[in-house]
Amino acid sequence: MREIVFDTETTGLDPSNGDRLVEIGCIELINRIPTGATYHAYFNPERDMPAAAEAVHGLSARFLSDKPLFRDKAQELLDFLGDAMLVAHNARFDFGFLNAELERCARPAVDLARMIDSLTIARTLHPGAKHSLDALCSRYGIDRSHRIKHGALLDAELLAQLYVELTGGRQIGLSLVAESMTTVDVAQIDIVAQAADRPVRTARVFTASAAELERHAAFLDKLDNPLWRDGAAPAGG
């Protein structure tokens, strides 16, 4: 199963009010295991950068001025996403900006049926707790000491670790789907196959026979008042 964990940085909170996507970072998972494949890009938003937004991610209008426009990288991004399920934290926010940018360049929106919201999962698992990415990383012991400001690829990397923990940790299920097998899956299948080839042996019987019980009783008769025989019937009794 292929999934893409992604995060975005923007100029603000609402694409319908002119806010734009300025960065996206994506991490590929196969059967919840990172493959090492990533996608990362900055975009020129063709507008100013509000101070409040720059304080969050550190991306200035000057830094972004020579970066490509979203429409120039759209196909490259869509090729990386493919038809995978897409995981984001507070996913409607990220999907809203992604689809707004796709609409601006006359491309079809990403189907919301592909959306997996890790925030919803966290709220279900930990009602009443804090559900920010920082708080959840602390809960699950995920190191974020290198996170000074928000950054799309770094946040996607942290979220990928968190998503694995939220969906069962490292206990990856055994997959028998050939096209999505990992090295771990193949090793597990080999162990199961080897076990299936072993001959079936009749279960060993560990109950003492009548002759063995008789010999044991005769041995006890030779002992002087054995404590462990208190209350037991004498041999032959």
The residue annotated as part of the active site, out of 40, 126, 150, 216, is 150
**How do beta strands 85-88 and 2-10 pair?**
parallel
Q: Give the closest residue to 85 by CA, choosing from 24, 156, 5, 153.
A: 5
Give 39: exposed, middle or buried? Use CB within 10 Å, 0-12, 13-18, 19+: buried
Residue 23 has what DSSP assignment? E
How far is 8 from 24, CA to CA, in rounded Å? 4
Whether 146 is a known active-site residue: answer no
DSSP lists the bridge partners of residue 99 as none
Residues 6+ apart with CB under 8 A from 164: 29, 32, 170
Looking at the chain, the number of H-run helices and the number of E-run strands are 9, 5
Alpha carbon 96 to its chain centroid, in Å, reads 23
Neighbouring CB atoms inside 10 A of 2's CB total 16
Cα-based distances in Å from 33 to 45, 111, 216: 33, 24, 59
User: Known catalytic residues?
Assistant: 150
